[in-house]
Amino acid sequence: FWSDQYGLSLQIAGLSDEGRSTVRRDLGDGAFILFHLAEEGRLVAASGIGPGNAVARDIRLAEMLIGKRAKPSVEALESPDVKLKALLAA
Average pLDDT for 67-74: 96
What pLDDT sits at residue 17?
Answer: 86
Percent of the chain scoring above 70 in pLDDT: 100
Rounded Cα distance between 75 and 56, Å, is 21
Give me the domain span that covers residue 81. 2-89
The model carries a pTM of 0.91
pLDDT digits (tens, 9 = 90+) for 1-44: 888 888 899 999 999 888 899 999 999 989 999 999 999 999 99
Please give the tally of structural domains in the chain. Answer: 1
Which domain CATH number covers 39?
A: 3.30.390.30
Inform me whether the pLDDT recorded for 53 exceeds 90: no
Measured CA to CA, the distance from residue 13 to residue 5 in angstroms comes to 18
CA distance 78 to 2: 22
The predicted pLDDT at position 50 comes to 93
Residue 78 burial (C-beta neighbours within 10 Å; 0-12, 13-18, 19+): middle
Half-sphere exposure of 19 (CA within 13 A, CB side): 19
Residue 71 pLDDT grade (very low, low, confident, very high; cuts 50, 70, 90):
very high
